Amino acid sequence: MPELRNKKVGIIACSGEELPEGLVSRLVALKVLHDLQPGRTVTLCLPLFLAGGVGDRAFAKLYPTIAIDGCDKRCAFRATEKYSSKPVESVVISEINDQRGYGSLGGLRQVSNAGRVLVNTISLQISQSVDSLLADQDGHSVESTNSENELSEDQNNNVGTCSCGSNIPVMILDIDGQKKEMVALPIIFENFANANRIADGELGNDLLEQAKVYTAIEPGKDTEYKEALLGAYKIFLRDQKKGGEMITIKVLGPGCDNCKKVEANTMDALAELNVDADVVHVTEHDAIYAYPILGTPGLVINEKVVCAGRIPSKDEIKQFIKQAK
C-alpha cells in the first residue's frame, strides 16, 4: 500500500437527520475541523462515500480515519470499513450519552445545553486522538508528491490533487482518447521506483492491481490501462533521473569479442531497466590496469569494479546497475 510522508486524519460523521445525536456528530466533526485541528483533519462526506466517491474512499484507504456515529447502527464506521479500511477510532454519540448521563441533547436543528457540553467533550477527545496519530509529524500537512518528483513537461499539467480537498496526488491518463483521473498514482509510481521496479509486463499487472485499489477501472479495459500506466511510469522514471547523477559504466578490455559481448549485455540491461548511462569502452593498457583487475574483460560502474576476467550475464549486470542507483 502506498504510504504518504505526511498524514491528515479523516473525520467521517453520521448524516442521519432523524435523531439529535446525528446533529451532535456533525457539530463535533465541524468543531474538530475548524477550531481544534485546522489543517490537520479532513471531513469526509458520508452520502458521497456511499455513492462511490473516489476521492473520499481513497482518502480513507491512505489516511487514518475516525468515524463519528449518532447511534449504534454505526453507518459511518461500517461504510468506511466496507469500502475503504477500518477506522482507527469509532465514536458513538448515543453510547457516550448513555454512559455519562447528559440527558436530552436537544432537537433535530438545535442542540440543548447538554448537547453543547457533549459536543465540546467529544471534540476534545477526538482532537487528542488526532494529536496522537500525528505526533511524529506535528505541524506538518500533507504535501503532494508532485512537488518532490516533478514530471516531464508534457505530463506536468496532468498531475494535481484530489478534488475532495485532501491533497491526495492524482494523475490524468489518456485511456482510448478519454481523460481518466487516477487517484494516488504519483505515490504508487514513487514506491515502485524506490523498489527499483522496471517497466516490464509484470510491473504492468502490479501497477494495474494497485491502481484498482484507489480508482474504479472499467471492465474490459485492463490492457488499455496497463499500457497507459507503463507509459506514464517510464516518463516518471525518466524525470526522476533528470535530478540525479548519471551512471557511468566502463567496459575494460582491448576490444576483443569478449569485451564486445560485455558491452552488448550492458546495453541490453540498460534498455530493459529503462536507465540512461554514460557507457565508455576503455581500451588503453595503462587505463585498464589503473583499476584493480587481473584480467579482462572488466566492468566498472561509478568507478567501482563489479566484475573482471569473465563475461557477466545481462541479468547480473542489471543487478549491478540496480545496486549502483
Joined grid coordinates for residue 213: 485499489
DSSP conformation class of 70 = S
CATH architecture of 9-137: 3-Layer(aba) Sandwich (3.40)
164 is catalytic: no
For residue 87, the 8-state DSSP code is -
What sign results for the dihedral spanned by CA atoms 150, 174, 199, 246? Answer: negative
Quote the pLDDT of residue 162. Answer: 47
Where along the chain do its domains lie?
9-137, 145-242, 247-324
The number of angstroms, rounded, from the C-alpha of 81 to the middle of its chain's C-alpha atoms is 20
Percentage with pLDDT > 70 across the chain:
83
Give pLDDT tens digits for 221-230: 999 999 999 8
Catalytic residue among 75, 162, 164, 259: 259
**10-19, 92-101, 250-259: which has the minimum mean pLDDT?**
10-19
**Contact, 13 vs 24, CB < 8 A?**
no
Q: Peptide bond preceding 2: is omega within 30 degrees of 0, i.e. cis?
A: no
If we measure between CA atoms, which residue out of 69, 17, 60, 24 comes closest to residue 42? 60
Pairwise CA distance, residues 271 & 15, whole Å = 54
Res. 79 pLDDT band, cuts 50 70 90: confident
75 is catalytic: no
Q: What is the DSSP letter of 111?
A: B
How is domain 247-324 classified at the CATH fold level? Glutaredoxin (3.40.30)
Instruction: Give the residue among 46, 45, 4, 10 at the shortest CA–CA distance from 166.
Output: 10
Which of 140-144, 223-227, 274-278: highest mean pLDDT? 223-227
**β pairing state of 247-252 and 277-282:** parallel
